[in-house]
Amino acid sequence: MSSDQELSIESRLAQASHYIDEVTGGVTPPIQLSTTYARDDDYEYIGAHSYARSGHPAWLVLEKVCAEIDGGAGALCFASGMAAICAVFETVDSGRHIVAPRIMYHGTHDWLRRIAQKRGIGLSLFDATDIEQLRAAVRPGETEIVWIETPVNPTWDVIDIAAAAEIAHAAGAILAVDATVSSPVTTRALDFGADIVFHSATKYMNGHSDVLAGVLVSGRDDDRWQDIREVRKLTGGILGPMEAWLLLRGMRTLALRYRKSSQNALQLAQHFENDARLERV
């Protein structure tokens, strides 16, 4: 049997990072539904948990696998992709500045416009096809988050993560990447210099259209990461135990599903490559 460090991303996903339940030896985690956890006679919690909004055993294996497949220091799961996105931007103070693509997932766009208006946060938008526009948009010392989405939904434009990271860092900002469309099976944004990677796990990660979920993975366990964790706890945008269990099960086949989807997409592209009715494939 291979040691944990040697597991490929495919095996890590299929075996949930080689999970074995310590109590029963089961290879899938139990579904623990409790929201409240008992204290002993000294009023100390008996186990590691206190209240489900603060931390739930159902997240532990899921977040461990998510952090590992993206090569991060930690992961946080949320009730939806938007709950995760909102938690990231909730850490930005009034008077600071955010840069994001002009065209991107409409929910993120609407949320950014809203907080820019209501909280006095500067917002600059750039054309995802022109990295020089991103360079011109950042404000050194003022920009706090550069948010990119790659490939962009719905244009499928690809943004150079390493170039965006260099621009963000030179301005003193962090780079956060919405990698919903490019799962960690093909692209690990942290490896290219991103600080935080986001997935709407509702899509490829879960893959069965039966769970709404969001996942953030951070390269570092720093103050912002702790702040995002605190926002999740206080706003309650948490993933329910049933959804966490289903997501972990869905992720077991992520590598296989992603490979098949990519093969199908290539086949379609090749089929239409020379079709005179189409402008571009």
Ligand X SMILES: Cc1ncc(COP(=O)(O)O)c(C=O)c1O
Residue 183 in contact with ligand X, rule: CB under 6 A: no
Member of 17, 153, 182, 183 binding ligand X (CB under 6 A) = 153
Q: How many CB atoms lie within 10 A of CB 191?
A: 14
Which window, 104-112, 159-167, 185-193, 223-231, contacts ligand X (CB under 6 A)?
A: 104-112
Smallest distance from ligand X to CB 63, Å: 17
Burial of 43 (0-12, 13-18, 19+ CB in 10 A): exposed
**What crossing angle do the helices spanning 81-90 and 223-235 adopt, rounded to 10°?**
120
Residues 205-234 interacting with ligand X (rule: CB under 6 A) = 212, 214
Tallying the residues shown for the chain, one arrives at 281
Which of residues 49 and 198 has its CB atom nearest to ligand X in the complex? 198
Which of residues 184 and 214 has its CB atom nearest to ligand X in the complex? 214
Member of 200, 238, 244, 247 binding ligand X (CB under 6 A) = 200
Member of 63, 68, 149, 195 binding ligand X (CB under 6 A) = 149
Residue 238 in contact with ligand X, rule: CB under 6 A: no
Tokens read off for 194: 């991103």
Residue 82 in contact with ligand X, rule: CB under 6 A: yes
- The 3-state DSSP class for residue 15 equals coil
Taking Cα atoms as reference points, which of 98, 81, 58 lies closest to residue 180? 81
Residue 80 in contact with ligand X, rule: CB under 6 A: yes
Residue 195 in contact with ligand X, rule: CB under 6 A: no
Angle formed at CA 151 by CA 201 and CA 128, multiple of 5 degrees: 130
Residue 177 in contact with ligand X, rule: CB under 6 A: no
Which window, 44-52, 90-98, 103-111, 246-254, contacts ligand X (CB under 6 A)?
A: 103-111
CA Rg value for the chain: 20
Residue 124 in contact with ligand X, rule: CB under 6 A: no
How far is Cα 247 from Cα 180, in angstroms, rounded to an integer? Answer: 15
| Catalytic residue ranges | 53, 105, 178, 203
Angle formed at CA 54 by CA 242 and CA 207, multiple of 5 degrees: 30
Residue 178 in contact with ligand X, rule: CB under 6 A: yes
Cis ω for the linkage preceding 30 (within 30 of 0): no
Residues contributing to the site for ligand X (CB under 6 A): 80-82, 105, 107-108, 149, 153, 178, 180, 200, 202, 212, 214
